[in-house]
């Protein structure tokens, strides 16, 4: 099973990028795929991800220098943290250490210069579509 998690704030402009990609993906007939929209990653999410062979995290990333740049990374670059919200790396760490699961994971990010709104609606929508298409092209449909 493949899990795709879009996370961010629905009322903070481009921070909703992950949520909007999930909305795009919901229109498509993806097989054996669990789509999850959340405000933030939380510890108990690991219970939903135990059966996932592959996990895709979709987020927006604050970067004023490269707005609307897309990145697919990164495996181990996010920070290990645990509070009421956690990082992708922490999710993977928890799956490995507590549930003996070792899924592949990727993080798809769109750089954003501001979360105060959507600065360029055309480019934003284009990046949402591009990311959804890219994910679909790598299996699951």
Partner 1 sequence: MENRKIIIDPVTRIEGHAKITIDLDENGKVEDAKIHVTQYRGFEKFCEGRIYTEMPAITARTCGICPVSHVIASTKAIDKILCITPPQAGINIRKIINLAQIVQSHALNFFHLSSPDFIYGFDAPKEDRNIFKMMQTHPQMARDGINLRAFGQKIIEELAGKRIHPTGIVAGGVEHKIEQSQKEAILSQIPDMMKIAQGALEFFKTNLHKFQKEIDSFASFPSLFMALTNENRTLEHYDGALCFMDSEGNILKDKINPQDYREFIGEAVEEDSYLKSPYYKPLGYENGMYRVGALARLNIAKTCGTPLADEELKKFKALGGGKPVLNSFYYHYARLIEIIYAIEKIEELLNADETMNENVKVTSKISNLRGVGCSEAPRGTLFHDYQVTKDGIITAVNLIIATGNNNLAMNAGVKQTALAFVDSKNITDGALNRVEAVIRCFDPCLSCSTHALGIVSSKIEVRDHNKKVIQVIDRN
Contact residues: partner 1, CB under 8 A: 8-9, 11-12, 15, 38-40, 42-44, 46-47, 59, 62, 79-80, 82-85, 93-94, 97-99, 115
- Locus of tokens 């987020």: 59
Q: Is 48 helix (H, G, I), strand (E, B) or coil?
A: helix
Whether residue 74 is preceded by a cis peptide bond, meaning omega within 30 degrees of 0, is yes
Nearest approach in angstroms of CB 49 to partner 1 is 11
**Helix, strand counts (H, E) of the chain:** 4, 5
Choose between 43 and 106: whose C-beta lies nearer to partner 1.
43
In this structure, the number of other CB atoms found within 10 A of the CB of residue 106 comes to 17
Please, what is the minimum distance in Å from the beta carbon of residue 43 to partner 1?
Answer: 5
Residue in 13, 15, 37, 14 with CA at minimum distance from that of residue 25: 37
Question: Cβ closer to partner 1: 3 or 140?
Answer: 3
- Least separation, in Å, of the C-beta of 97 and partner 1? 4
Nearer to partner 1, 106 or 115 (CB): 115
CA-nearest of 21, 36, 17, 49 to 113 is 17
Least distance to partner 1 from the beta carbon of 96, Å? Answer: 9
Q: Which is nearer to partner 1, 23 or 136 (CB)?
A: 23
């Amino acid at each position: 099973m493949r899990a795709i998690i879009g996370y961010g704030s629905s009322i903070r402009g481009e921070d909703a990028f992950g949520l909007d990609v999930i909305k795009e993906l919901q229109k498509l007939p993806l097989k054996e795929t669990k789509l999850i929209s959340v405000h933030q990653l939380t510890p108990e999410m690991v219970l939903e991800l135990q059966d996932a062979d592959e996990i895709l995290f979709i987020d927006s990333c604050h970067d004023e220098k490269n707005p609307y740049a897309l990145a697919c990374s990164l495996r181990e670059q996010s920070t290990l943290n645990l509070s009421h919200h956690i990082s992708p790396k922490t999710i993977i760490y928890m799956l490995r250490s507590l549930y003996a699961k070792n899924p592949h994971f990727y993080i798809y990010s769109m750089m954003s210069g501001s979360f105060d709104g959507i600065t360029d609606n055309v480019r934003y929508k284009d990046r949402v579509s591009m990311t959804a298409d890219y994910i679909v092209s790598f299996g699951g449909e």
